Amino acid sequence: MERNGFKSDDIALVVPHQANLRIIKAMQERLGVEDSKIMVNIDRYGNTTAATIPLGLRDAVAERRVKKGDLVLILTVGAGYTTGGILLRWAY
What are the pLDDT digits (tens) for 13-34?
999 999 889 989 999 999 999 9
Q: Is 41 exposed, middle or buried (0-12, 13-18, 19+ CB in 10 A)?
A: middle
- Give the span between the Cα atoms of 14 and 16, in whole angstroms: 6
**Residues in the chain, pLDDT under 70:** none
- Give the predicted TM-score (pTM) of the model: 0.91
